[in-house]
Amino acid sequence: MYHYTECGLPNVYLKNGFTESKSPYGKLVTFHDIKGLHVLIGNTIVMKPGRLDSTEIRFIRKELGLSQLALAKLIGVKEITYRTWEGNKQINVTADRLLRTLYKEFIDKNSDAYALVTLLADLDSKVQKARIELSVEKRSNSWKLESKVGGYAVVE
């Protein structure tokens, strides 16, 4: 039995699916199908009764590939509020449900939520503190983007 603390959760034990070996630096553990393992853990977390705890919230955020700031903005709270949830303050019921739903949709690679989270994670890694300038034109019944200056940016 292997206590799998590498995932950030204190209560995950593996009966198999890993290989232990020795290296010049000590014990080396190799995990098999880590993605599948994390999907199973994530699904189990989001389907459990009661609110998510701080370690579960952090696990889900990391699985989504988002920073605390990006996830806070995505679910509509201030970053400091989100940070308190990862720091042991209980998450509110609405945010808990939204986070669970977002994760369930995210693991479905064909969902709109997956596309949104992937885009946000990409933007989060490229964000600059600058304003973006858009040139738009009204055409018959719709607006059309003519040009964008500044690349990826956070509009404040």
pLDDT in tens, 89-124: 999 998 998 899 889 888 877 777 767 766 776 776
- Mean of all residue pLDDT scores within the chain: 83
Q: Is residue 93 part of a domain?
A: yes
Between CA 95 and CA 74 the distance in angstroms is 11
Q: Is residue 1 part of a domain?
A: no
pLDDT per residue as tens digits for the range 24-76? 999 999 988 889 999 999 999 999 999 999 999 999 999 999 999 989 988 88
Q: Report CA dihedral (55, 59, 62, 64) to the nearest 10 degrees.
A: -130
Q: Is residue 142 part of a domain?
A: no
Q: Is residue 156 part of a domain?
A: no
> Is pLDDT of 150 > 70?
no
Strands (E), the chain: 2-3, 13-14, 18-23, 26-31, 133-139, 142-149
Q: Is residue 17 part of a domain?
A: no
Q: Which of 41, 32, 39 is nearest to 11 (CA)?
A: 41
The one-character DSSP state at 154 is -
Q: Is residue 121 part of a domain?
A: yes
Entry pTM? 0.70
Q: Is residue 149 part of a domain?
A: no
The reported pLDDT for the residue numbered 148 is 55
Q: Is residue 37 part of a domain?
A: yes
Between CA 82 and CA 54 the distance in angstroms is 10
> Is pLDDT of 143 > 60?
yes
Total tally of structural domains belonging to the chain = 1
The reported pLDDT for the residue numbered 153 is 40
The tokens of 82 are what?
């989100």
Between CA 60 and CA 91 the distance in angstroms is 13
What domain range is 94 assigned to? 33-126
